[in-house]
């Protein structure tokens, strides 16, 4: 079901080097497959291990800044990769708007230099002050086009040229050169945004395909006991038309050996599909499902119907953890991360009375978007309630996992109450890694 093109790849991360087989997707990303974990340099905590199934992606900016010590960006799982793409899309979207505004303002300044008489003295002063602010904004940039534009803007603001002459045409030409550099940066930002949108859609599709497999198994294992947790599967399985996929029916005494053989074939199909899962965060849970599906197939051969029914219910309960993880990622972590980014960028700069900006506090307060933050908190509480009531501890190989998850989510909820959004996100991601 899930196809990866294997290749040998060497990755450098913070000075550490790892050569391992990778799976390349059609959209150009790499995921680390069966390999020993790679320890992040200068970190000793267990969650600092780079594990099999996590994602790598070539990153030219990281390579440039680290002087070749880091060649790839790392993402713990597919959800983080998708969220990273969404942040890039938003960032490039903001950059596109800024570049378009800079182009218009720089063109106005070029016209000013060529025809000062067409502007009042107040307009001329405003244009020069605007140009000075733009120059200051470009002092900390690392993009080559912006650096070149900054130098040209500086030249356009010089009153005298190298021959000590007042040469407005030369200054206007330098200002026009800055326009050209801004247009190049605009094109680059649009290309990056277009690629990230395409790639992020592919990652979202990859996540959806894995979840669909889990939903299909959940529906097939529906033993007419209890209610679905965290996911509505009422449309996935039609009892009136899909009785051949209903394990409750297949393993009943009335179907005899033929029913058990049909159940065994269906279990084998699911087994092969889950065995193909190799990406995080699905691979850890999939390994348990594969092991238990194999055991269920052996029970079908031995006609151990009572034991088989108990095991199938256990598998179904275990799937709830994946639905809980998806709810935590998509209903809490994702919206909070995007909301925090939007508001943080606004809080970084505060407007003065004259319309100019100064460095702000950078603190994101609940008052900035009370309804949106309240919705995130409601989502977190809903996920916690489902985990408390629907996800059983005794079905786990490690019984302290649920305790850890509940502890991290409880700490995250306390952080939300005091507007410490970064700490809340960190704790929720720790909980997700446990799941």
Q: Same structural domain for residues 88 and 42?
A: no
174-203 average pLDDT score: 91
Is the residue at 228 inside a domain?
Answer: no
Q: Same structural domain for residues 92 and 68?
A: no
Q: Same structural domain for residues 342 and 260?
A: no
Domain termination site, one of 26, 53, 76:
76
**pLDDT value of residue 232:** 40
Is the residue at 118 inside a domain?
Answer: yes
User: Is the predicted pLDDT of residue 416 greater than 80, yes or no?
Assistant: yes
pLDDT tens track for 126-167: 888 888 888 888 888 888 899 999 988 888 887 776 666 777
Q: Same structural domain for residues 331 and 430?
A: yes
Q: Same structural domain for residues 345 and 390?
A: yes
Q: If we measure between CA atoms, which residue out of 48, 370, 323 comes closest to residue 213?
A: 323
pLDDT tens track for 238-293: 333 333 446 777 777 777 888 888 888 888 989 999 998 888 999 888 999 999 99
CA dihedral 127→129→134→136, nearest 10 degrees, is: 160
Is the residue at 420 inside a domain?
Answer: yes
Q: Same structural domain for residues 155 and 63?
A: no
**pLDDT value of residue 395:** 65
- State what percent of residues in the chain have pLDDT above 70: 81
Is the residue at 175 inside a domain?
Answer: yes
Domain termination site, one of 164, 196, 228:
196
Is the residue at 222 inside a domain?
Answer: no
Is the residue at 66 inside a domain?
Answer: yes
Cα dihedral sign, 267-272-275-276: negative
Is the residue at 214 inside a domain?
Answer: no
Q: Same structural domain for residues 112 and 160?
A: yes
Q: Same structural domain for residues 97 and 158?
A: yes
> Could you give the CA distance from residue 312 to residue 250 in angstroms, rounded to a whole number?
12
Burial group, residue 55, by CB count within 10 angstroms (0-12, 13-18, 19+): buried
Q: Same structural domain for residues 261 and 335?
A: no
CA dihedral 365→367→369→375, nearest 10 degrees, is: 90
Q: Same structural domain for residues 297 and 371?
A: no
Q: Same structural domain for residues 169 and 271?
A: no
Is the residue at 209 inside a domain?
Answer: no
Residue 420: which domain range? 322-351+364-434
Banded model confidence at residue 428, pLDDT cuts 50, 70, 90: very high
Higher-confidence position of 27 and 419: 419
Work out the mean pLDDT of the chain and round it to a whole number: 79
- Which CA distances in Å does 259 have to 174, 251, 301, 304, 311? 81, 6, 11, 13, 17
Number of structural domains the chain divides into: 4
Domain termination site, one of 20, 44, 76:
76
Q: Same structural domain for residues 373 and 425?
A: yes
């Amino acid at each position: 079901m899930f196809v990866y093109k294997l290749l040998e790849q060497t990755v450098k991360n913070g000075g550490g080097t790892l050569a391992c087989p990778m799976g390349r997707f059609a959209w150009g990303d790499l995921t680390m497959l069966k390999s020993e974990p790679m320890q992040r340099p200068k970190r000793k905590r267990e969650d600092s291990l780079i594990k099999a199934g996590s994602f790598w992606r070539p990153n030219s900016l990281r390579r440039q800044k680290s002087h070749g010590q880091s060649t790839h960006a790392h993402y713990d799982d597919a959800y983080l990769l998708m969220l990273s793409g969404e942040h890039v899309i938003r960032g490039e979207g903001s950059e596109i708007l800024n570049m378009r505004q800079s182009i218009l303002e720089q063109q106005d300044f070029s016209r000013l230099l060529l025809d000062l008489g067409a502007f009042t003295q107040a307009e001329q002063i405003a244009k020069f002050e605007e140009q000075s602010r733009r120059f200051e904004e470009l002092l900390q940039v690392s993009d080559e086009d912006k650096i070149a534009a900054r130098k040209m803007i500086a030249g356009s603001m010089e009153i005298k040229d190298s021959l000590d002459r007042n040469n407005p045409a030369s200054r206007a030409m330098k200002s026009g050169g800055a326009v050209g550099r801004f247009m190049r940066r605009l094109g680059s930002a649009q290309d990056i945004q277009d690629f990230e949108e395409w790639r992020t859609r592919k990652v979202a599709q990859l996540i959806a395909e894995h979840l669909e497999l889990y939903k299909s198994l959940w529906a097939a294992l529906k033993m007419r006991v209890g209610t679905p947790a965290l996911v509505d599967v009422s449309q996935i399985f039609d009892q009136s038309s899909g009785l051949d996929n209903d394990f409750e029916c297949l393993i009943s005494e009335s179907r005899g050996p033929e029913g058990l053989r049909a159940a065994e074939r269906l279990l084998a199909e699911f087994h092969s599909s889950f065995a193909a899962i190799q990406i995080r965060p699905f691979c850890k849970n999939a390994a348990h499902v594969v092991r238990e599906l194999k055991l269920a197939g052996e029970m079908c051969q031995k006609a151990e119907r009572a034991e088989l029914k108990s095991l199938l219910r256990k598998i179904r309960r275990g799937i709830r953890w994946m639905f809980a993880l998806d709810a935590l990622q998509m209903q809490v972590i994702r919206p909070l991360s995007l909301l925090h980014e939007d508001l943080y960028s606004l809080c970084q700069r505060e407007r003065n009375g004259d319309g100019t900006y100064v460095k702000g506090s950078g603190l994101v307060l609940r008052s900035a978007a009370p309804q949106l933050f309240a919705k995130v908190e409601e989502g977190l509480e809903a996920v916690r309630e489902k985990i408390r009531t629907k996800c059983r501890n005794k079905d786990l190989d490690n019984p302290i996992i649920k305790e850890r998850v509940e502890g991290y989510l409880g700490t995250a909820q306390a952080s939300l109450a005091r507007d410490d959004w970064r700490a809340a996100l960190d704790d929720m991601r720790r909980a997700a890694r446990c799941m």
